[in-house]
Structure 1
């Protein structure tokens, strides 16, 4: 199994478990900059050198050796489940991807046909009932996660606990898990704990939101997308995310955490 979704600086200053839709583009660029004194030219997910990734065969033994010996500081970053699944819908389902095509080819036509979802036309820019379509997308999300039909769950909307857990189950241990909603504080706490070849001044780091502009703008406040049934589905899918990462299930309009993450609890519950 190893450590899928794990990135490490070439200097081995720090190890990061990627959680999709949780500031991973910005974090990856910060890691790249901390080693090389410059940002990767393009989407950091496309880099093939300059940053060790589990998806690169040459990196795997280095990452595995580091993580199993806990040689370097290890961290990840999480996000409110309500805003994360909403972001996935607008970016991946409604949006045109950076290759100029729809995400995963036939996925959107399948959703239009089987779930009656609208996505804003060919270019994702036309008016449509965002709330109705999003709630239908939630049904699809639940079906993929609960029954793996009509397809396997996608990394962008599968639960964060699942991503975070593989690192633990296979022998890793986190030193820090912080919230996207308090990004600067969290990322600074990582930088304060490690030594990097190049100093990173967070105040001057741009945000690399690679999904920005892919899809239509959200037309309503977050809470308007979630009625009682939607909240029930969200709880079914993401109950561990709310519990472990201390988000407010009862109020979709409150994106901020309501408690402190207990690393021992995370390791105990996700390491089983």
Structure 2
């Protein structure tokens, strides 16, 4: 069995299925802290030790056994699809990455050419029409997800249900799925359900946003970016996310969930 995107504490107190753009940096740092009593110095995605990760060959047998035995608490975290795709645009398309370059090399120039997207630059203080460019990016994101053209969908804007389903399809089961919009409450539930070597006070944990400060600031309320066509494109891409994780498709201004997540329903729907 394969469990890509899965992290586990070295103490095997908890297993987390990473979902990009859903507080994964903060969650990874909390897991690291819960074992070592300190945060990882740098981006937790770069940590090559101190945390088991599926992409580390030496971790795979340990993660597989922990999943199959189901003695280790398993969780993940989701986010409103409207704010998640908007965050992906500002971070990965309009923003400059930590290495000082654009994301994925020639991706942004290709989108400028094929979709007419504008992203500005640090030199002009990222001056561009954010709403128009974002809506054109949505067309590209839909094309990549629906038609796999001009490229395969990127992990940062592919559906959350797709990430979460790989764990279920390979025999895993989640004990908890919580919302980034209620992060402290959800993560506190995880910590109460586990025994960690180091105590963690969720109220004292900083937020680790590795993309912050490397691109333009969002200038408008979330709902201003989504007209009727944009909402249709978003629903086309993320209808399972809205339904399973109980977000409000009708109102982009409402980032909060409108019902409780039914874990049995999630497992039933995503096991297929």
Shorter-chain TM band: over 0.9
The equivalent residue for 2:139 is 139
Alpha-carbon distance in 2 for matches of 1:238, 1:112: 24
Deviation at 1:121, TM superposition (A): 2.6
SS of residue paired to 2:2? coil
* 1:95/1:123 contact within 8 Å kept: no
Deviation at 1:60, TM superposition (A): 0.7
1:86-165 correspondence to structure 2 within 5 Å: 86-121=86-121, 125-165=125-165
The equivalent residue for 1:181 is 181
* 1:17/1:75 contact within 8 Å kept: yes
The equivalent residue for 2:243 is 243
Alpha-carbon distance in 2 for matches of 1:105, 1:38: 34
Moved more, 26-35 or 123-132: 123-132
* 1:247/1:255 contact within 8 Å kept: yes
* 1:91/1:215 contact within 8 Å kept: yes
The equivalent residue for 2:35 is 35
Alpha-carbon distance in 1 for matches of 2:67, 2:10: 14
Alpha-carbon distance in 1 for matches of 2:52, 2:121: 39
Alpha-carbon distance in 2 for matches of 1:74, 1:34: 15
Q: Would you identify which runs of 4 or more consecutive aligned residues in structure 1 move more than 4 Å?
A: none
Alpha-carbon distance in 2 for matches of 1:41, 1:23: 17
Question: 1:10-31 CA deviation, whole Å, 9 max, x = no partner?
Answer: 0000000000000000000000
Deviation at 1:39, TM superposition (A): 0.3
Number of residues of Structure 1 aligned to a counterpart in Structure 2 = 272
The equivalent residue for 1:214 is 214
* 1:95/1:124 contact within 8 Å kept: no
Alpha-carbon distance in 2 for matches of 1:250, 1:125: 34
Alpha-carbon distance in 2 for matches of 1:84, 1:145: 15
SS of residue paired to 2:75? strand
Alpha-carbon distance in 1 for matches of 2:61, 2:190: 24
SS of residue paired to 1:75? strand
1:66 lines up with 2:28 in the alignment? no
* 1:165/1:271 contact within 8 Å kept: yes
199 and 236 in structure 1: CA distance in 2 versus 1, 3 angstrom threshold: same
SS of residue paired to 2:197? coil
Deviation at 1:127, TM superposition (A): 1.3
Deviation at 1:126, TM superposition (A): 2.5
Query: TM-score with structure 1 length normalisation?
Result: 0.99
1:256 lines up with 2:249 in the alignment? no
The equivalent residue for 2:45 is 45
Any stretches of 5+ residues in structure 2 without a counterpart? none
The equivalent residue for 1:232 is 232
Deviation at 1:70, TM superposition (A): 1.0
C-alpha RMSD of matched pairs (Å)? 0.9
Query: TM-score with structure 2 length normalisation?
Result: 0.99
Moved more, 115-124 or 250-259: 115-124
The equivalent residue for 1:10 is 10
* 2:122/2:215 contact within 8 Å kept: no
* 1:124/1:215 contact within 8 Å kept: no
